[in-house]
């Protein structure tokens, strides 16, 4: 028995030593090594020799020191996604700090002021796609409001044998490069039989005029999908004893992939969203946007295996793990469900707003000059020849290594399109909870989560319960819930044909920073003028998702904005400094859907300093 305990303890102690010899001190090393997944080999980027990097376990209230050494031959960085910390420790090159040079070590120091499930990743170029990411689990200072017997991190990610630079170059050269479900003559004839020749031809012409196809669900296909770095065949396994309550910390660490998650045979009780406790809600399935986290509790009562299925939203594959009483158990994979298709309902407003579908002449339709925020600045010659090589800190000076992309602001901007202040025009509502947040297409708040009625609307297996944002209610009411002081409208815009993504029609390199004042409460109104989902991430501060639950509206660090919908959040501005704000789809962020946010002290305080 003693020897058995020692054998179990040795790997644990070795893992702790690799992180740090002192309590509260952790050591991470970013490097490279050959890796083969699903028969495809490449030189991958790793943290402490693995993909993902080690799970960092902190405790609320402790002060941590994290030494990050860069053994790559290009600059790197680590961003602590969702953590509340001083902006100088946030890890975004060009905004928070210069980044970490090859061969150098940067020491992060910050207090842990929260609990829950978060993650960390590189914010340099496409290194996150290459393997520079890992999980964070923070133990609360007080007892949690739910029970569990054991827990596992379930980190979902997408993996390609191509480099991030290759993928981005392919998208810029041909935006449908990865669309492996192109429409065919056979499909046209099938639609003619079903819908008639005239209706089918009209549908094809409508899509053709927008340089799009109904199968434009995901920008990138062909990925292998991983659970904790393991492919479907490798079958990550979490063990349980029948009757135990098992906590699963789901993290979507993908570059581009949304997943619909289910565990056939088990109900999942959602207890946390983006690290914050929510009132428990029992579901059969949930959609996890890129960079979101959800904690669920399951209770398998039978001594058999259960598949943890994360199905990509374009139905191109599974990330699969297994819960089982013994190692080596697994079930056969089910068939992929039917691939969703976009409909003209999805495009009804996007085609008339900020989505520039190529050569379509919006000015002839009367949609151009009235909406400067929807202008296509690329058509005016402002798009760089190689956006992936842009140095966002130096106003267009490309670094020698594009993968070391620096995401700071450039300060070249139109007047203030991205920071349209509606409060000055009397649009700030007196009571935020009473505000009508229906979408442009007239959808309800719950419908707007997933563009209901379209191909993107999810349907849970066997007609079960699918989680909607409206189901998320904070466990405790927010203490300083009040009407916003002002509103900023952010239109999510783009040009699919040239693969150009922006906010208010302006790419990051041409945009002024968004300026906020410490202590104010600002409403952000996201209007998605595109046919793509966009997971919008604000660094350093919470976004309080407005779903009509007042003080119980949940706090999130990422919110998913569905196609052709409007979504509102309130931001308690409580963190001085300079912060990144962007779509967390990696190639959308790289092509311009990014802003710098500057939080300044109140004018009276500044004058006294």
pLDDT along the chain (609 residues), means of 10: 40 43 83 90 94 97 97 98 98 97 98 98 97 98 97 97 90 63 52 64 53 61 93 96 98 96 97 98 96 98 97 93 96 89 53 43 32 35 37 36 39 38 37 34 46 56 86 96 97 86 94 97 95 94 95 97 93 98 96 97 63
pLDDT recorded at residue 177: 52
For residue 19, what are the CA distances in angstroms to 56, 65, 410? 8, 11, 36
- Domain range for 253 is 145-179+215-341
Q: Judge whether 501 and 588 are in contact, CB under 8 Å.
A: yes
Largest CA distance in the chain: 81
pLDDT recorded at residue 411: 35
- The last residue of one of the domains, among 306, 324, 341, is 341
Q: Are residues 314 and 430 in the same domain?
A: no
Q: Are residues 55 and 116 in the same domain?
A: yes
What the block records as the tokens of 592 is 């311009």
pLDDT recorded at residue 424: 35
Residue 204 lies in a domain: no
Q: Are residues 117 and 151 in the same domain?
A: no
Q: Are residues 153 and 65 in the same domain?
A: no
pLDDT recorded at residue 296: 98
Q: Are residues 228 and 136 in the same domain?
A: no
Q: Judge whether 516 and 596 are in contact, CB under 8 Å.
A: no
What the block records as the tokens of 519 is 């202590």
What the block records as the tokens of 377 is 């600045």
Q: Are residues 470 and 329 in the same domain?
A: no
Q: Judge whether 572 and 483 are in contact, CB under 8 Å.
A: no
Q: Judge whether 91 and 189 are in contact, CB under 8 Å.
A: no
Residue 474 lies in a domain: yes
Residue 385 lies in a domain: no
| Chain centroid, CA 489 distance in Å | 20
Taking alpha carbons only, the member of 68, 64, 66 closest to residue 47 is 68
Specify the DSSP class assigned to residue 564: T
Q: Are residues 415 and 548 in the same domain?
A: yes
86 Cβ partners below 8 Å, 6+ apart?
110, 577
SS3 (DSSP) at 439: coil
Residue 587 lies in a domain: yes
- Tally of CB atoms within 10 A around 109: 15
Residue 205 lies in a domain: no
Q: Which helix H or strand E contains 487, and what residues bound it? A: strand 486-495
pLDDT recorded at residue 39: 84
Side-chain half-sphere of 256: how many Cα atoms within 13 Å? Answer: 26
pLDDT recorded at residue 499: 86
Q: Judge whether 96 and 88 are in contact, CB under 8 Å.
A: yes
pLDDT recorded at residue 440: 35
Q: Are residues 419 and 297 in the same domain?
A: no
Specify the DSSP class assigned to residue 329: -
Q: Are residues 436 and 335 in the same domain?
A: no
- The last residue of one of the domains, among 293, 315, 341, is 341
Global pTM?
A: 0.79
Q: Are residues 112 and 152 in the same domain?
A: no
Q: Where are the beta strands (DSSP E) in 511-565?
A: 514-517, 521-528, 534-538, 543-545, 555-556, 558-561
Residue 376 lies in a domain: no
Q: Are residues 102 and 168 in the same domain?
A: no
- The last residue of one of the domains, among 341, 358, 383, is 341
What the block records as the tokens of 480 is 């300083």
What the block records as the tokens of 94 is 């060009």
59 Cβ partners below 8 Å, 6+ apart?
112, 138, 139, 141
pLDDT recorded at residue 370: 34
Q: Judge whether 569 and 524 are in contact, CB under 8 Å.
A: yes
Residue 372 lies in a domain: no
- Specify the CATH number for the domain of residue 51: 2.60.40.420
Q: Are residues 42 and 132 in the same domain?
A: yes
């Amino acid at each position: 028995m003693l020897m058995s305990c020692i054998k179990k303890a040795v790997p644990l102690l070795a893992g702790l030593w690799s992180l740090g010899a002192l309590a509260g001190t952790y050591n991470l090393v970013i490097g490279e090594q050959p890796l083969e997944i699903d028969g495809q080999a490449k030189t991958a980027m790793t943290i402490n020799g693995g993909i993902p990097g080690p799970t960092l376990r902190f405790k609320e209230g402790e002060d941590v020191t994290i030494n990050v050494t860069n053994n790559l031959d290009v600059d790197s960085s680590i961003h602590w996604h969702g953590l509340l910390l001083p902006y100088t420790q946030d890890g975004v090159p060009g905004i928070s700090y210069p980044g970490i040079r090859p061969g150098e070590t940067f020491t992060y120091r910050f207090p842990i002021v929260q609990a829950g499930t978060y993650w960390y990743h590189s914010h340099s170029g496409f290194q996150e796609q290459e393997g520079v990411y890992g999980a964070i689990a923070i133990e609360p200072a007080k007892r949690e409001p739910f029970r569990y017997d054991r827990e596992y991190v379930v980190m979902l990610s997408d993996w390609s044998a191509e480099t991030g630079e290759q993928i981005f170059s392919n998208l810029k050269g041909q935006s449908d490069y990865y669309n492996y479900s192109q429409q065919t003559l056979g499909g046209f004839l099938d639609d003619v039989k079903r819908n008639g020749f005239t209706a089918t031809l009209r549908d094809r012409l409508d899509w053709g005029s927008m340089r799009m196809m109904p199968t434009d669900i995901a920008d990138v296909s062909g990925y292998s999908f991983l659970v904790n770095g393991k492919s479907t065949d490798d079958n990550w396994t979490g063990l349980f004893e029948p009757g135990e309550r098992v906590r699963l910390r789901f993290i979507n660490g993908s570059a581009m992939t949304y997943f619909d998650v289910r565990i056939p045979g088990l109900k999942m009780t959602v207890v946390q969203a983006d690290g914050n406790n929510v009132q428990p809600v029992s579901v059969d399935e949930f959609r996890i946007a890129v960079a979101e986290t959800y904690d669920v509790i399951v209770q398998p009562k039978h001594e058999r295996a259960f598949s943890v299925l994360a199905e990509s939203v374009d139905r191109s594959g599974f990330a699969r793990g297994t819960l089982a009483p013994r190692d080596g158990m697994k079930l056969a994979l089910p068939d992929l469900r039917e691939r969703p298709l976009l409909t003209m309902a999805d495009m009804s407003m996007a085609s008339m707003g900020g989505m520039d579908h190529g050569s379509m002449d919006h000015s002839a339709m009367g949609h151009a000059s009235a909406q400067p925020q929807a202008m296509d600045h690329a058509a005016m010659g402002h798009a760089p020849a190689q956006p992936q090589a842009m140095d966002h800190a130096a106003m267009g000076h490309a670094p020698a290594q594009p993968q070391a992309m620096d995401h700071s602001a450039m300060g070249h901007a139109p007047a203030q399109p991205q920071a349209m202040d509606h409060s000055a025009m009397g649009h700030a509502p007196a009571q935020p909870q009473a505000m009508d947040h229906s979408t442009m297409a007239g959808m309800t708040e719950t419908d707007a989560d997933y563009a209901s009625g379209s191909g993107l609307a999810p349907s849970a297996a066997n007609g079960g319960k699918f989680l909607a944002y409206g189901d998320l209610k904070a466990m405790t009411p927010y203490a300083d819930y009040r009407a916003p002081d002002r509103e900023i409208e952010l239109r999510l815009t783009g040009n699919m044909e040239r693969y150009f993504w922006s906010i208010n029609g302006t790419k990051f390199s041409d945009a002024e920073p968004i300026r906020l004042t410490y202590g104010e409460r600002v409403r952000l109104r996201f209007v998605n003028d595109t046919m793509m989902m966009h997971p919008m991430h604000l660094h350093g501060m919470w976004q309080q998702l407005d779903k009509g639950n007042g003080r119980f509206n949940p706090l999130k660090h990422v919110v998913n904005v569905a196609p052709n919908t409007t979504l509102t959040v309130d931001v308690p501005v409580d963190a001085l400094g300079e912060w990144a704000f962007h779509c967390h789809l990696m190639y959308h962020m790289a092509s311009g859907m990014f802003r710098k946010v500057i939080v300044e002290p109140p004018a009276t305080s500044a004058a006294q300093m």
